[in-house]
Structure 1
């Protein structure tokens, strides 16, 4: 199977959807499900127990849902997720896609496993502070969804998700250029003392990703120019430079992000180019 190019969920249809629980589902009063529709890392959705969660999603209008991501969650290696898409409202009409039950966390590849040290079934997120689940779906018109989340043995005693992205992804015909850069940054300030010590406070780190798309055709320019106009540098999106690959590479190059500034499009003879810088959020 051919490797997918970079993918970006610029427009999150989840944010305008009507969300209700199905036959099972719960939320704590101060951390409701609706928190997944707005970016704020301090306001998550938290359940009252580890029972299966069924979320009925009625979209604002018929649209393509080809990317689905649970971001900043506490699901474990035993957790599973199922997504069903319908062409009618309120989970009616034809089921146009059924993912079946899929792992919440993709496993380490054989080459990444540390034999004798990693636990059996270790995921790529073992010992990581932040976890996400991302699923790439067929590009079909969707009116409603049914999302099921199961992790009955979660040791926290509840399930928690910070943000959910569901929308059509943009994927360029030609992938990002060679020479991209990714790095960890933090807000920590180093404070040197007269004695030569350098003191810092430990703060959460975040990723910064720089890359270029240098082979955009006219239609891609139109689509990307409109997408970046809508999100600018104030809306959060989901970025994956290594989608559907699994292992550490997909983990490292996939995250919720904001553009540090809108990209500049440059026109050449038969193509358009631009540069992106994304900061993890």
Structure 2
């Protein structure tokens, strides 16, 4: 699944209680380090509303580079009326976990701190851009969205978010072909002394996915793949989701990024098209 475009920049944000120098408006800045920070952890402080300006189709929602703790929970609602008296999407009145289970049963040793929860320990998040991704089961037509965060035990004393993504998504009719890959790209610098000793400047790596969509009929190839490349280019945000049904490895194989390069629409077979993609994580 490829989600594009991000509607947040044309939206209006309101609600909650946010630090004056780190306001909600920062969620509309693509620099993930320019964050919005709540003044406290009360539910009334950490919530906010999104007005898309008109009823628009959405399928994927993300909170990117957040500081939400292992026990944090959230609720996401979509509505066509500003007071949310009726909703067209609700993630659940019982708030959902921000950090789901990521270790399949039996993959951890009994002594491991995460054996019971099967969730990350706090130290294991290091290296990932903390991201909450919500993939809705179907397209949702709504103008208003409400985000509620329950994280009263967060040791930081506040909720912090670097970016929001909300927008539609394209899920190809036929899956990516075998040979797709995902990898970490190292950014650390290595300097070698004359003696052979090595010195390292460690930097956070980023993920990169490469995949090919083949066996696309002409209409899908040009109305979706061709147009996605034209509109997104190599600079616009695109969310890559390897498998929308995967909850265990979701944090590892879905992320906000951009197309690192554009490729041709090819004609490998009669009446069928293919296109290759390289997707780079934004950190």
Give the structure-1-normalised TM-score: 0.89
Deviations 1:113-171 (A, max 9, x none): 44321244242475112321111113121121111111111111111111111111111
Aligned length: 270
Q: CA deviation at 1:190?
A: 2.1
Q: Is the 8 A contact 1:125 1:251 kept in 2?
A: no
- The answer for unaligned runs of 5 or more in structure 2 is none
In structure 2, the partner of 1:3 is none
Any residues of structure 2 matched to 1:72-87 within 5 Å, and which?
A: 72-87=65-80
Q: CA deviation at 1:27?
A: 1.5
Q: CA deviation at 1:231?
A: 1.4
SS at match of 1:260: strand
In structure 1, the partner of 2:254 is 254
Counterpart-to-counterpart distance in 1, 2:109 and 2:32: 32
Counterpart-to-counterpart distance in 2, 1:96 and 1:10: 21
Q: Is the 8 A contact 2:17 2:38 kept in 1?
A: yes
Give the structure-2-normalised TM-score: 0.89
Q: In the alignment, does 2:46 pair up with 1:46?
A: no
Q: Is the 8 A contact 2:50 2:146 kept in 1?
A: yes
Q: CA deviation at 1:94?
A: 3.5
Any residues of structure 2 matched to 1:78-227 within 5 Å, and which?
A: 78-88=71-81, 90-91=82-83, 94-100=86-92, 101-108=95-102, 109-119=104-114, 120-124=116-120, 126=122, 127-129=124-126, 130-137=129-136, 138-221=138-221, 222-227=223-228
- The answer for unaligned runs of 5 or more in structure 1 is 1-6
SS at match of 1:118: coil
Q: CA deviation at 1:64?
A: 0.8
SS at match of 1:220: helix
Q: Is the 8 A contact 2:5 2:237 kept in 1?
A: no
Q: CA deviation at 1:256?
A: 1.1
Q: Is the 8 A contact 1:50 1:152 kept in 2?
A: yes
Counterpart-to-counterpart distance in 2, 1:124 and 1:179: 29
Q: Runs of at least 4 residues of structure 1 off by over 3 A?
A: 91-94, 111-114
Q: CA deviation at 1:93?
A: 6.5
SS at match of 2:47: strand
Counterpart-to-counterpart distance in 2, 1:14 and 1:125: 31
Q: CA deviation at 1:70?
A: 1.2
SS at match of 1:83: strand
Counterpart-to-counterpart distance in 2, 1:244 and 1:161: 25
Counterpart-to-counterpart distance in 2, 1:92 and 1:28: 25
SS at match of 2:41: coil
